[in-house]
Amino acid sequence: MASSSMPLERLQALDNVEKEIASCIQSAGQALMELSKDKASMKQVESHTSTFLKTLNHVEGELSKHINYLTQVSTGQPHEGSAYGSLKMYKTARHRLEHTRTRLQDLENLKNRALASSIRPTSAQNNP
């Protein structure tokens, strides 16, 4: 499976879940509509309720899969099709590098000031 097609597949799967949620709501509505009738058919109510529960269980399972995937991605664990972990490590390394450069520049400036202050008194003593 190509890693570039994975996001599209995930989006398609989420689109299917959205359609199943709509179907689930429709089944619940049909069950309630049947119950609101004067002579409700319990067979129809049970059928719609059963469809609702089956669809709801499937939606829950699919959403759990997507949540688990997103949890894995957000913690930086390696997985197929994502460069998140590598990008995070790169940004952290760049930040450390910049911090190190700043600290080295501070030390260089401190050294130069110390050298400059030690040279001035010596030259002042030589020229009375």
Which amino acid is residue 14, in one-letter code?
L
Name which residue leads in pLDDT, 11 or 75.
11
- Return the domain boundaries, the chain: 7-77, 82-118
Beta strands in the chain (DSSP E): none
The whole-chain average pLDDT of the chain stands at 84
From the CB of residue 24, how many other CB atoms can be counted at a distance below 10 Å? 19
pLDDT above 90 for 29: yes
Confidence at residue 1, expressed as pLDDT on a 0 to 100 scale: 43
Reply yes or no on whether the pLDDT at 19 is more than 50.
yes
pLDDT digit string, tens, across residues 72-115 = 777 665 556 667 777 888 899 999 999 999 999 999 999 888 88
Report phi then psi at 127, rounded to 5: -115, 75
Whole-prediction pTM: 0.53
What is the CATH class of 7-77?
A: mainly alpha
* Phi-psi label, residue 51: left if phi above 0, alpha if psi -120 to 50, beta otherwise: alpha
Q: Provide mean pLDDT across the span 63-74.
A: 85
CA–CA gap between residue 26 and residue 22 (Å, rounded): 6
